[in-house]
Amino acid sequence: MEADARTRAARVIGVDLQTAVVVRALRVAQVRAVLLKGPALSALLYDPGELRSYCDIDLLVAERDTAAAGCVLQRLGYRPLVSDAALDGHRRVHAHEWTSAGGVSVDLHRTLPGATAAPEVVFRTLAAQTRTLSVGGEPIEMLEESAALVQVALHAAHHGPRSGNATQEVERAVRRHPEAAWLEAAALAAQIGAGHAFAAGLRRCSDGVALADRLG
């Protein structure tokens, strides 16, 4: 077990270092990126010293910057797993996965799952609710409390019962954060057209059902 924990911790450190590389390169290209998961959720949901495992990088960028961000990722050795053109007229996805030979993938988000507002509205709303944390030695923007809670709930709603981990993190979030923060989160969710998905995500756990009922 100790060896497994060391392996997972080493993996997390490697992802954090690569996150710093990617965000630094995006910043040089004048692309603003907001970290959605990884260390952002560790800070939101876990105690210091408590390990949250993750193996990829989730970044939210403005839709107008997705092409520039893609060019940066290509220069860093990443390749898109699928493109909008390959979807052949199907509805555009909320994020594209970029893979690398190093094994760390980047999910480049243009919006959040469940949000019906235009991607630029989603980015503008959430990018106004950020804080900065050092990740891999690089100052990186991530969502502050209420906006991060929106992301946690929408992630759970998107994956539904398929992801026990997403459900567990909603439960953890409900228990750790005050109702006042959830009220602010509900208001933000409404601003990005994600009220229904937000409530659905909360209802993935029993404590969340009661909270969703109180929030209306």
Structure tokens at 163: 């992801």
**Residue-wise pLDDT tens digits, 142-196:** 999 999 999 999 999 998 776 678 999 999 999 999 999 999 999 999 999 999 9
Looking at the fold, whether 148 and 138 belong to one and the same domain comes out as: no
Domain that holds residue 216: 144-216
In a domain, 30, yes or no: yes
* Closest to 183 measured CA to CA, from 139, 137, 216, 138: 216
Looking at the fold, whether 91 and 176 belong to one and the same domain comes out as: no
In a domain, 99, yes or no: yes
95 has pLDDT over 90: no
84 has pLDDT over 60: no
Looking at the fold, whether 48 and 82 belong to one and the same domain comes out as: yes
In a domain, 125, yes or no: no
pTM recorded for the entire structure:
0.91
- From CA 155, how far away is CA 173, in angstroms rounded? 12
**Residue-wise pLDDT tens digits, 31-76:** 999 999 999 999 999 998 888 999 999 999 999 999 999 999 999 9
> In this structure, what CATH number is given to the domain that contains residue 11?
3.30.460
Name the CA radius of gyration of the chain, rounded.
Answer: 17
5 has pLDDT over 90: no
Looking at the fold, whether 76 and 168 belong to one and the same domain comes out as: no
Looking at the fold, whether 36 and 108 belong to one and the same domain comes out as: yes
Report which secondary-structure segment, H or E, holds 154.
Answer: helix 145-159
In a domain, 117, yes or no: no
Looking at the fold, whether 4 and 90 belong to one and the same domain comes out as: yes
To the nearest 10 degrees (0 to 180), the angle between helices 206-215 and 195-202 is 140
In a domain, 12, yes or no: yes
**Residue-wise pLDDT tens digits, 18-34:** 999 999 999 999 999 99
3 has pLDDT over 90: no
In a domain, 207, yes or no: yes
For residue 124, what are the CA distances in angstroms to 22, 190, 211? 21, 14, 27
pLDDT of residue 203: 95
Domain count, the chain: 2
pLDDT of residue 4: 82
Looking at the fold, whether 136 and 177 belong to one and the same domain comes out as: no
pLDDT of residue 81: 84
Looking at the fold, whether 6 and 86 belong to one and the same domain comes out as: yes
pLDDT of residue 89: 47
pLDDT of residue 108: 96
Residue 85 confidence class, pLDDT cut points 50, 70, 90: low
pLDDT of residue 80: 92
Looking at the fold, whether 82 and 182 belong to one and the same domain comes out as: no
In a domain, 126, yes or no: no
Looking at the fold, whether 103 and 154 belong to one and the same domain comes out as: no
- From CA 136, how far away is CA 39, in angstroms rounded? 10
**Residue-wise pLDDT tens digits, 96-110:** 999 997 889 999 999
In a domain, 3, yes or no: yes
pLDDT of residue 39: 94
118 has pLDDT over 50: yes
